[in-house]
Amino acid sequence: MSTRTITKKSLDVVVLYSAGHLGSAMIMNKLLGMPEINIVGVVKAQPLKLSIRGRSHIKQHLKKFGWRFAGMLFWQRCIQGLGYLLTLVFPFLQKRLKPAWKIASDHNIPVFRCRNINDDASKNFIQNLNPELLVSAYFSQILKSEVISIPNIGVLNIHPGWLPAYKGAMAYFWVLNHGGDKGGVTVHWIDDGVDTGDVLARRSFLLKPQATQETVLMVTAVIGARLFRRVTRRLLAAKDARITISAEETDAYYPMPGDKDFETYFKQHRFFRIRDILGLIVMKRYR
């Protein structure tokens, strides 16, 4: 993070998001209405395509993570599509569920569709926008030091888990799989490690016994956007946003779940239930 004094009323931001990810879309909708930031560009992590080359990538993906995980990703994209359809039926939902690509199109925000955030094309796109800040909205790729160093201030990550207890991919999966009674959201600086940068804000929330991944994902997105706004306000006020983490706190890293990890998860219907869709309309507690 840069230590220079910030004198502007808003920060120029490039948003990193994952295509077909409900959490990414919800955060993007929240960010758009924040006067503290000016979204100057969007980097979209592309899903695998069913091309000849894409099929090879899909096979590698399935071999590594299994069919259950692939099915979950497919279902997640279906839910995102359903969410978009809901915005057509319930216009008030457009402030929460409009897809990121639609937001960018409506507001003439340049979008770059990347396969690898660390390749030259991706880096050139970001550099040309000269952003002060990058924000990762559940972005699915790991950033290397050359990308991290591009923005003048740094890169913020909205992490859907309590740090440092739930480092790594899909924290919402692991807390549910462990039968935890609390979920969490953390905003932190991205460095060369995995979820090891300074923590700037975090919040926990209670998990109901029958909570599913989709409901937890929605809650973390809403809370995460609020925490991000709190952090940007402190940055604009030139205040140190870091919080102190006790050495006694649990510090654990979790990898991407494998096929066996999903067996109990799916038996318990932890991923999704049809009635979860109602949460897209209600969500009163966390608005």
Per-residue pLDDT reduced to its tens digit, 174-216? 998 888 899 999 999 999 999 999 999 999 999 887 788 878 8
**Residue 198 DSSP class:** P
Lowest-confidence pick of 81-85, 97-101, 144-148, 197-201: 81-85
Query: Which strands form 37-45's sheet, in the order they lie side by side?
Result: 111-114, 37-45, 11-18, 133-137, 154-159, 182-189, 199-206
Other beta carbons within 10 angstroms of residue 252's beta carbon come to 11
CA distances from 227 to 27, 158, 160, 272, 275 (A): 11, 8, 12, 26, 28
> pLDDT tens-digit profile of 134-169?
999 999 899 999 999 999 999 999 999 999 999 998
Contact between residue 199 and residue 179 where contact means Cβ atoms under 8 Å apart: no
Across residues 94-118, what is the average pLDDT?
83
Q: Which structural domains are found in the chain, ordered by start?
A: 11-281 (3.40.50.170)
What is the pTM assigned to this prediction? 0.81
Confidence of residue 15 (pLDDT cuts 50, 70, 90): very high
